[in-house]
Amino acid sequence: MSTVHRLPGIVTTDHVFRVPLDHRRPDGERIEVYAREVVAAGRENDALPWLVYLQGGPGGKAGRPLGADSWLARALDDHRVLLLDQRGTGRSTPANRQTLARLGSPEQQAEYLAHFRADSIVRDAELIRRTLLGEQGRWSLLGQSFGGFCTLTYLSLAPEGVREAYVTGGLAGLRSSAEDVYRAAYPRVARKNAAHYRRYPADVEAVRRIAAHLAEQPARLPDGGELTVRAFQALGLLLGSGSGSHQLHYLLEEAWVDGVEGPELSDTFLAGAQAQLSFAQGPLYAVLHESIYGQRSVGPGGTEWAAERVRKEFPEFDAGTALGTDAPVLFTGEMIYPWMFETDPALRPLRETAQLLADRGDWPDLYDVERLAANEVPVFAAVYHDDMYVDTADSLATAEAVGNLRPWVTNEWEHDGLRVSGRVVLDHLMRMARGDL
């Protein structure tokens, strides 16, 4: 029996669905996928159209609502919302170092995780749609970031189940390889660094001091992880969000204390760095990250740690070189590197599994370019100008390639615009759908 909860302004209902691990083998192993139904208080019995929220990631669980706030408040004006914990995340059958160890060898773990990409997520959603709405029922999609990638896969595999789709910061390059993605990403990340250092010029020396210290003596994080120079640079992931530059600055402000033997990195700083760098709450983000770009028609080989390989083309990100001059030390962005599976205790048991996935080739295609070109489902997409995480050029090319897709290009928000704008971003897209804009 479903559990119902009442929160400020909303009523939630828990749903758990049993789905095939491999949808090609419906009678084989099954896993659970959890979804939270949310409706405005007082409208529980109304015949509202459904809106499915596809979370960013990969490997991200849906947000946990505290009430009718942020984009959810706007969505609930017109819809019954389904917050999907994509397979392996949240309250769905979890996939992490603890549970994957039960499967046996790294080879067995990698084979299991090969079924956790967008195509499987979409097929889960289709099974759920038929269960909740019936075979002929249709629902709307809201895809944030990686959720937008999943939306494009949905329109490639099962557009008949979709009434309309909204995408925020998630129009993937349909023919972009992992190498293409990172080759375009490093210059964007460099621009975000430059903007940060213009905003906080004293941070240039603050970052150099920390990097020089870590180059001589890596620090131990509270969870036992290792803060190396490269791990410190990975804090640049913050620079892609609206408030991330400020968060990074405030973290740097409290980096040092005077200890028994002189200045040392503070517990406050180390705990703050760990909060940003640890993958304990979302290991699939690291393990599956580059595989989301794998498509046999684009590149039949493995992704092979594309971010690490392409980084060599951008020597300005080499901290050692920067410290040998007066150049600023640059932070990196949304890149996953093999060394992370050595420095992060949550990832360390999965390093062989991650390597096997990086080596894996012949990934099935995620996008049907011809079917997308003929798409008839209305799609409305927010494209954030100079988005650090998703290449704007790729997004605009995809907007041209997908039929019936209308983009809204804005520089008012960063990648997290859906969340931080309150009702604004989703309301704009929904007004576009109504023909008001």
Structural tokens at position 359: 């080596």
Q: Taking the CB of residue 142, how many other CB atoms lie within 10 A of it?
A: 27
- Are 148 and 381 a contacting pair, CB within 8 Å? yes
Torsion on CA atoms 410, 411, 416, 421, rounded to nearest 10: -80
Residue 39 three-state SS? strand
Is residue 145 part of the annotated active site? The answer reads yes
Closest CA to 367 of 209, 188, 155: 155
Name the amino acid, one letter, at 225.
G
CA dihedral 105, 107, 108, 111 (to 10 degrees): 160
C-beta contacts of 117-120 below 8 A and 24+ residues apart: 117/58, 117/288, 117/291, 117/292, 117/294, 117/363, 117/366, 118/58, 118/146, 118/149, 118/150, 118/153, 118/292, 118/366, 119/153, 119/157, 119/364, 119/366, 120/22, 120/23, 120/87
Rg (CA), the chain: 22
Mark whether 258 is an active-site residue.
Answer: no
The answer to whether residue 362 is catalytic is yes
Nearest to 355 by CA among 414, 309, 302: 302
Residues whose CB falls within 8 Å of the CB of residue 134, separated by 6 or more in sequence, listed in order: none
Catalytic residue selected from 92, 145, 176, 421: 145
Query: What distance in Å separates the CA atoms of residue 392 and residue 413, rounded to the nearest whole number?
Result: 13
Which of 5, 362, 385, 386 is the catalytic position? 362
- What distances in angstroms separate CA 273 from CA 217, 232, 283, 287, 375, one per listed residue? 16, 8, 17, 20, 44
Out of 415, 416, 421, 428, the active site residue is 415
The residues annotated with a catalytic role in the active site are: 145, 362, 415
